[in-house]
Amino acid sequence: MSNEKIPYKIYLEENEMPKEWYNVRADMKNKPAPLLNPGTLQPMTAEELAPVFCDELVKQELDDTTPYIAIPEEIRNFYKMYRPSPLVRAYCLEKKLGTPAKIYYKFEGNNTSGSHKLNSAIAQAYYAKKQGLKGVTTETGAGQWGTALSMACSYFDLDCKVYMVKVSYEQKPFRREVMRTYGASVTPSPSTETEIGKKILADHPGTTGSLGCAISEAVEVATKTEGYRYVLGSVLNQVLLHQSVIGLETKAALDKIGEKADIIIGCAGGGSNLGGLISPFVGQMLRGEADYRIIAVEPASCPSFTRGKYAYDFCDTGMVCPLAKMYTLGSGFIPAPNHAGGLRYHGMSSTLSQLYDDGFIEATSVKQTEVFEAAEYFARVEGILPAPESSHAIKVAIDEAKKCIETGEEKTIVFGLTGTGYFDMFAYEKFHDGKMDDYIPTDAEIAESLSKLPKVD
């Protein structure tokens, strides 16, 4: 093993934890395009967003000039319960691979939500509480976000209504129970509690629901109920802002041990983890202070960066939310049932889309079965059972480390390990039993979906 003096796990001290989030948009010359009102096709104003989101979060959503935004003390105190997360030197993985590369991963799974989602959930709950709201609504698919939000709401004594895609509600009863433990109400979607839910149930009896439908229900309840707002766990600028705590800690830890990353790798669904991880590093690139190779990894079944189009599109399948300019497969694209539920989103964060379009990020897509092969390999050598989402990054990190064996280069590879797979064992079971498929949409399918993009000038 090289460099024995670096410990297996690098923890920042509590007083080294970030006191401000970093807003990468402030350093971008080409700003991400604004959200558009789906009716007028004009940029959404703060007033238009206020019925949906908390005031402070609207401000953060629209702010593309302030580089650093203070993390309120109450949030920092909550962070101290499960942060700083460790930056882990993957000595065992390096040894097993026989690579000269140095591999590090930032592990965000050591909290009960099981993923990085808690970083933004606690911020959004805090601002809701500060505004004197009674509660928030949201949707959840696989359940990480719903779990994180219910933990955050419990901490601030806020009501939390989660609309959970019906098929997940039934297939993931454990996730549902974790949310109930934190006092959230969990409703299978579509439900008869909302107009849109009733309509969908009437039109499609027996439907098992979709994320798009659950979003529509959550938004309807938030906007129609006094004292409630809607919150979202990915895609939005505010979420990337909160998640920058991942990248800031990673960079601080690397600086502390005198290490500089060559390659930074993250899985990409809506972009919350990838955006959070890379923000401070991309900031350096934008300011001309450093250079990195940054790789977004997406599932071959839902390849918005690698096979999508950079265009305005609806954020939800219900087409009631604002339009965002982003790499998209079309809001009508139904991703195949890949087990990385957190990556099954038709679009991509506007900020990351602009950075990708400007060449600061590269992207690659990987197949489900090779992802699970990498997941199992990693679990056995590093002792952590990774979430399917995170395992996309593992797969590419291992590939890059293998390239270093051939070239002999001692590259420093950093990847984001966003969470644990304890609630994904049905997927692992399918993999073990050889019953896992790879789903790759055809060109025709994608073209068909993209042909229905909304027409914006």
Q: Is 104 one of the binding residues for a second copy (CB under 8 A)?
A: no
State which of residues 125, 151, 211, 214 lies at the interface with a second copy (CB under 8 A): 151
Q: Is 410 one of the binding residues for a second copy (CB under 8 A)?
A: no
Footprint of a second copy on 425-444 (CB under 8 A):
425-426, 428-429, 432
Radius of gyration of the chain (CA): 21
Could you tell me the smallest distance in angstroms from the CB atom of residue 442 to a second copy? 32
Q: Is 260 one of the binding residues for a second copy (CB under 8 A)?
A: no
Q: Is 420 one of the binding residues for a second copy (CB under 8 A)?
A: yes
Nearest to 238 by CA among 279, 179, 281, 205: 279
What SS3 class is residue 106? strand
Q: Is 381 one of the binding residues for a second copy (CB under 8 A)?
A: yes
Q: Is 385 one of the binding residues for a second copy (CB under 8 A)?
A: yes
Helix residue spans in 260-314 (DSSP H) = 272-286, 304-307
State which of residues 376, 399, 409, 448 lies at the interface with a second copy (CB under 8 A): 376
* Burial readout 137-154 (b: 16 or more C-beta within 10 A, e: otherwise): bbbbbbbbbbbbbbbbbb
Q: How far apart are CA 255 and CA 333, in angstroms?
A: 42
| Nearer residue to a second copy within complex by CB, 220 or 424 | 424
Q: Is 174 one of the binding residues for a second copy (CB under 8 A)?
A: yes
CB neighbours of 435 closer than 8 A, spacing ≥ 6? none
Contact string (CB under 8 A) for a second copy, positions 45-84, x = contact = --------------------------------xx-xxx--
Could you tell me the smallest distance in angstroms from the CB atom of residue 183 to a second copy? 7
State which of residues 2, 42, 110, 223 lies at the interface with a second copy (CB under 8 A): 110
| Nearer residue to a second copy within complex by CB, 151 or 394 | 151
Stretch that binds a second copy, among 107-115, 225-233, 255-263, 273-281 (CB under 8 A): 107-115
Both structure tokens of 345: 């989103």
Q: Is 423 one of the binding residues for a second copy (CB under 8 A)?
A: yes
Q: Is 105 one of the binding residues for a second copy (CB under 8 A)?
A: no
Residue 139 C-alpha from the chain's centroid: 14
Residues recorded for the chain: 457
| Nearer residue to a second copy within complex by CB, 150 or 194 | 150
Q: Is 384 one of the binding residues for a second copy (CB under 8 A)?
A: yes
C-alpha to C-alpha distances, 169 to 26, 182, 251, nearest whole angstrom = 39, 16, 38
| Nearer residue to a second copy within complex by CB, 49 or 385 | 385
Contact assessment for residue 231 and residue 123, using Cβ atoms and an 8 Å cutoff: no
Q: Is 156 one of the binding residues for a second copy (CB under 8 A)?
A: no
C-alpha to C-alpha distances, 116 to 121, 207, 290, 398, nearest whole angstrom = 9, 30, 26, 22
Indicate left, alpha or beta for 177 from its phi (over 0: left) and psi (-120 to 50: alpha).
Answer: alpha
Helix residue spans in 139-226 (DSSP H) = 144-155, 166-171, 173-181, 195-203, 211-224
State which of residues 43, 51, 173, 337 lies at the interface with a second copy (CB under 8 A): 173
State which of residues 8, 41, 46, 51 lies at the interface with a second copy (CB under 8 A): 8
| Nearer residue to a second copy within complex by CB, 19 or 380 | 380
Torsion from C-alpha of 303, 307, 313, 314, nearest 10 degrees: -20
Count the residues of the shown chain that bind a second copy, applying the rule CB under 8 A.
45
| Residues within the interface to a second copy (CB under 8 A) | 7-9, 11, 13-14, 77-78, 80-82, 88, 91-92, 110-112, 114, 151, 154-155, 173-174, 177-178, 180-183, 376, 379-385, 420, 422-423, 425-426, 428-429, 432
